[in-house]
Amino acid sequence: MLKRGLERGEVLRALGEVFRAHGYEGASLTLITEATGLGKGSLYHLFPGGKEQMAAEVLAEIDGWFERHIFAPLRTADDPARAIAAMIAGVDQYFHSGDRVCLVGMVALGSARDSFAEAVDGYFARWQTALASLLRRSGLTNSQAQRRAEDALLTIQGALVLARARGDAKIFRRALSDLTARLLAPPA
Amino acid sequence: MLKRGLERGEVLRALGEVFRAHGYEGASLTLITEATGLGKGSLYHLFPGGKEQMAAEVLAEIDGWFERHIFAPLRTADDPARAIAAMIAGVDQYFHSGDRVCLVGMVALGSARDSFAEAVDGYFARWQTALASLLRRSGLTNSQAQRRAEDALLTIQGALVLARARGDAKIFRRALSDLTARLLAPPA
DNA sequence: GGAAGATTGTACCGATCGGTACAGAGAGTC
DNA sequence: GACTCTCTGTACCGATCGGTACAATCTTCC
């Protein structure tokens, strides 16, 4: 059991924030011990694989969250409009309306990408497939659905980058609102 | 004068590739000396401000390239369709059709953001303003033009992230092609 | 209470970090 | 050739990096 009842999930959440704030290479063990309140001894006891294992588990936890809250609902929903609204709401919540950065996207851009290529690709691939399957059920052809899902993912990532770059979270909310309309539009 | 006739511009270009490949924090002086062929002595002679100055000058050089090849033409063009096509072609060229990452976007996401906040914000702000001015001349209202320009920047950034994440540069080309159509569409 | 195992803080490791000092090589000028 | 000034390679700096070793401390169960 962990000291002070700290669960592994809480540790992972703290780790996630450190990686988000400083990137994989920038997240030093000093920063990590500060953020988690855990000494090196505890850290390496929990994660014998070191920083790489920490990052891998953080990515897996993020993936799990999206799987439960975003991907799975998309696959099973029967009302497209409601499902899309729910996805957008979930995304808005997860990214704190643009104040929070996407760790998966960050890793993809950095040099740590190669170490986590599979996790990164899988995350976006499953998201796109889940969204496309919903769009197909709403009347789009397979290729239309794939393309529109790709557009959705790329819009979310771009909005996070631009919002961060310009220090204006409203950019993210505007993009999400436009995206909702674009996803619900009738097939061209 | 530089050894072997190496110009400062060439050094900056090599530096840019190192920063792109490893991020600001990941670009160690060892990596930098290898990429530029310059020892520490030369490096610190050329850039007394160290890594931070190197990154600042690289960002400035990128900014200059976009200013000359993208922003300025947008401001003075009289044929919107041609100007937009030229911008898209320039962007496609600069980012090697999706194989190259946007250093400005990368810096924006990383923890080095605060050090270069002004440069990062200015780059996107001038791009958006230049594009919006063209769109206004093509018949859009000011707010429509601003919003559509914002969408363009975010789409480009997102496409670069997603293409990188999925290891598929075609995503970038598709996004640019769709973006062209969206920019040329009549006002809603 | 005492054995066993999980958990922890601390000291320490070699490697590498960004940066400095400085002697000397190279080029230009007279 | 000698003086100047620009440029460069190398040795070195303290700090920090990710990671390991290990003894001390807690829990748990008997």
**For the segment B119-134, what is each residue's pLDDT rounded down to a tens digit?**
999 999 999 999 999 9
**For the segment B40-53, what is each residue's pLDDT rounded down to a tens digit?**
999 999 999 999 99
The 10 Å Cβ neighbour count of residue B127 is 24
pLDDT over 90 for what percent of chain A?
94
Q: How far is CA A166 from CA A156, A162, A163, in A?
A: 15, 6, 5
Q: How far is CA B72 from CA B65, B77, B90, in A?
A: 10, 9, 12
Q: Which residues from chain B sit within 8 angstroms of residue A147, using beta carbons?
A: 174, 178
Would the CA dihedral through A163, A164, A166, A169 be positive or negative?
positive
Best residue in A28, A161, A179 for a mutation probing chain B (most B CBs within 10 Å): A161
The answer to whether B83 and B73 have CB atoms below 8 angstroms apart is yes
The 10 Å Cβ neighbour count of residue B68 is 11
Is it the case that residue B28 has pLDDT exceeding 90?
yes
Q: Which two tokens stand for residue B25?
A: 């924090």
Q: Measure A51 CA to D19 C1' (Å).
A: 10
Instruction: Please name the residue of chain B whose CA is at the shortest distance from the CA of residue A156.
Output: B158
Per the listing, tokens 């990137």 go with A23
Positions 81-100 in A, CB within 7 angstroms of strand C: none
The answer to whether B49 and B95 have CB atoms below 8 angstroms apart is no
pLDDT bracket for residue B6 (50, 70, 90) = low
Q: Which domains does chain B have, with CATH numbers?
A: 3-184 (1.10.357.10)
Question: Which residues, other chains included, contact A149 with Cβ-Cβ below 8 Å and sequence gap of 6+?
Answer: A127, A128, A129, A131, A132, A135
Per the listing, tokens 């953080």 go with A58
- For chains A and B, what is the number of CB pairs under 8 angstroms? 130
The 10 Å Cβ neighbour count of residue A112 is 22
**For the segment A51-61, what is each residue's pLDDT rounded down to a tens digit?**
999 999 999 99
Would the CA dihedral through A173, B105, B98, B66 be positive or negative?
positive
Is it the case that residue B3 has pLDDT exceeding 60?
no
Q: What is the pLDDT of residue B188?
A: 74
CB contact under 8 A, B105 and A21: no
Would the CA dihedral through B160, A120, A164, A180 be positive or negative?
positive
Is it the case that residue A4 has pLDDT exceeding 90?
no
| A131-A134-A135-A140 Cα dihedral, nearest 10 degrees | 140
Best residue in B32, B59, B109 for a mutation probing chain A (most A CBs within 10 Å): B109
| Nearest-neighbour CA in chain A from B97: distance (Å) | 16
Q: Measure B16 CA to D11 C1' (Å).
A: 28
| Nearest-neighbour CA in chain A from B160: distance (Å) | 8
CA separation for the pair A155, A126 (Å, rounded): 17
DSSP A116-169: GHHHHHHHHHHHHHHHHHHHHHTT--HHHHHHHHHHHHHHHHHHHHHHHHHT-T
CB contact under 8 A, B26 and A105: no
Per the listing, tokens 């990188």 go with B164
The answer to whether A99 and A169 have CB atoms below 8 angstroms apart is yes
Q: Which two tokens stand for residue A173?
A: 């909310």
Q: What are all long-range contacts of A110-113, with beta carbons under 8 Å and residues at least 24 apart?
A: A110/A23, A110/A24, A110/A25, A110/B22, A110/B23, A110/B26, A110/B106, A110/B110, A111/A25, A111/B21, A111/B22, A111/B23, A111/B26, A112/A23, A112/A24, A112/A25, A112/A55, A113/B164, A113/B165
The answer to whether A157 and B162 have CB atoms below 8 angstroms apart is yes
Instruction: Please name the residue of chain A whose CA is at the shortest distance from the CA of residue B164.
Output: A108
Best residue in A102, A121, A129, A157 for a mutation probing chain B (most B CBs within 10 Å): A157
Residues shown for chain B: 188
Q: Which residues from chain A sit within 8 angstroms of residue B95, using beta carbons?
A: none
Residue ranges of chain B whose CB lies within 8 Å of a chain A CB = 21-23, 25-26, 101, 104-106, 108-111, 113, 117, 120-121, 123-125, 147, 150-151, 153-159, 161-162, 164-167, 171, 174-175, 178
Q: Which bases of chain C come closer than 7 Å to a protein CB?
A: 6-11, 16-23, 27-28
pLDDT bracket for residue A6 (50, 70, 90) = low
The answer to whether A73 and A87 have CB atoms below 8 angstroms apart is yes
Q: What share of chain B is helix, strand, coil (3-state, %, to 5)?
A: 85, 0, 15
Per the listing, tokens 């976006």 go with A124
**For the segment B75-117, what is each residue's pLDDT rounded down to a tens digit?**
999 999 999 999 999 999 999 999 999 999 999 999 899 999 9
Question: Which residues, other chains included, contact B1 with Cβ-Cβ below 8 Å and sequence gap of 6+?
Answer: none
DSSP state of A187: P
Mean pLDDT for the stretch of residues A121-140:
98
Is it the case that residue A2 has pLDDT exceeding 80?
no
CA separation for the pair A134, A44 (Å, rounded): 42
